[in-house]
Amino acid sequence: MRILFLGDVVGRPGREAVAARLPVLRERWRLDLVVVNGENSAGGFGITEKICDELLAAGADAVTLGNHSWDQREALVFIARQPRLLRPANYPPGAPGRGATLVDTASGRRVLVVSVMGRLFMDAMDDPFAAVDREVALCPLREVADAILVDIHAEATSEKQAIAYHLDGRVSVAVGTHTHVPTADHRILPGGTAFMSDAGMCGDYDSILGLARDEPIRRFMEKTPGPKVEVATGPGTLSGLAVETDDGTGLAAQVAPVRIGPNLAESRPAFWE
């Protein structure tokens, strides 16, 4: 199975990069599943129903969120009627929406997609290890799901690595998001799970994490509040992770980073090109 995961979509540059490139890649690479993290897609903070629909229309099968899940208050309402939009599974009981969904692919296979959020240097949340264990136990690999992808939205690479190793051999892909910078540690763990500490962002990399540079620099230097930060407006780069799974085991067979656009060295999966 061919799986593409795209990191945090940041504002209009990220949305435009997804809209322009994903439909072409989906056809060219004959992708079975595409998952996109959309938690920064609305002006850098949260997601709206219109934007969620646009990401799905561009070719995403599921959209994951993170610590900015509720920055756009309408998300508290429309997430209940959109089964393909996932907030972290370890939100406390009573939070609207869901943390996992089972996607039926066009090829007739079923993929469990799970969103989970870390706790180091993040808002207080329920235990991410217990939450992801619960979701995976409900749809075990090779028994219910043909593949399982987990988006680990966390600040600390150590926590992302710990969750990934905890899941090794039980899920197909465990990929990190949130820090907006693609890491160079893409690999297949000993048990067969594809991993990357952070998939990077889909957005303008001539920026500070997708935001226009001046105000973040001023805040670092002066340590005073100021104007609202704005999303950078340059052309967006698509960043993510490509994984091919073994149909027999559901585990990863090949993995490669994806970077398409300006400001970063381009990277495409040679096994699909």
Q: What is the pLDDT of residues 89-99, one digit of tens each?
A: 999 999 999 99
Average pLDDT over residues 22-49: 97
Write out the catalytic residue numbers: 68
- Residues 14/202, Cβ–Cβ less than 8 Å: yes
Per-residue confidence band for 71, with pLDDT thresholds at 50, 70 and 90 = very high
Cα–chain center distance at 268:
18
Rounded CA separation 13/19 (Å): 10
How many Å separate Cα 18 from the centre of its chain? 13
Q: What is the pLDDT of residue 237?
A: 98
What span, in angstroms and rounded, lies between the C-alpha atoms of 261 and 234?
11
57, 71, 127: which is closest to 99 by C-alpha? 127
The reported pLDDT for the residue numbered 43 is 95
Q: In what order do the strands lie in the sheet with 173-177?
A: 100-104, 110-117, 147-153, 173-177, 194-196, 187-188
- Residue 200's Cβ-side half-sphere holds a number of Cα atoms within 13 Å equal to 26
Quote the pTM value. 0.97
pLDDT tens profile 155-193:
999 999 999 999 999 999 999 999 999 999 999 999 999
When pLDDT is averaged across residues 55-72 and rounded to a whole number, the result is 97
Handedness of CA 18, 35, 146, 86 (dihedral sign): negative
Compute the distance between CA of residue 84 and CA of residue 62 in angstroms, rounded to an integer. Answer: 5
Task: Pick the closest to residue 180 from 192, 167, 198 (CA basis).
Answer: 198
Percent of the chain with pLDDT over 70: 100
Q: What value does the mean pLDDT of the chain take?
A: 97
Residue 258 CA: distances (Å) to CA of 151, 196, 244: 16, 11, 13
pLDDT digits over 215-229, tens only? Answer: 999 999 999 999 999
Confidence at 240, pLDDT banded by 50, 70, 90? very high
Tens of pLDDT, residue by residue over 111-129, are: 999 999 999 999 999 999 9
Report the pLDDT averaged over residues 56-70: 97
The pLDDT value recorded for residue 130 is: 98
Range 140-145 contact pairs with CB under 8 angstroms and sequence separation of 24 or more: 140/170, 141/170, 141/171, 141/172, 141/250, 141/251, 142/249, 142/250, 144/102, 144/110, 144/112, 145/102, 145/110, 145/111, 145/112, 145/250
- Say if residues 42 and 80 touch (Cβ distance below 8 Å): no
Mean pLDDT over 134-149 rounds to 97
Dihedral, 214, 220, 224, 225 alpha carbons, nearest 10: 50
Tokens of 197: 């500490």
CA-closest candidate to residue 232, choices 204, 260, 262, 261: 204
Going from the N-terminus, what domains does the chain have, and what CATH number goes with each? Answer: 2-260 (3.60.21.10)
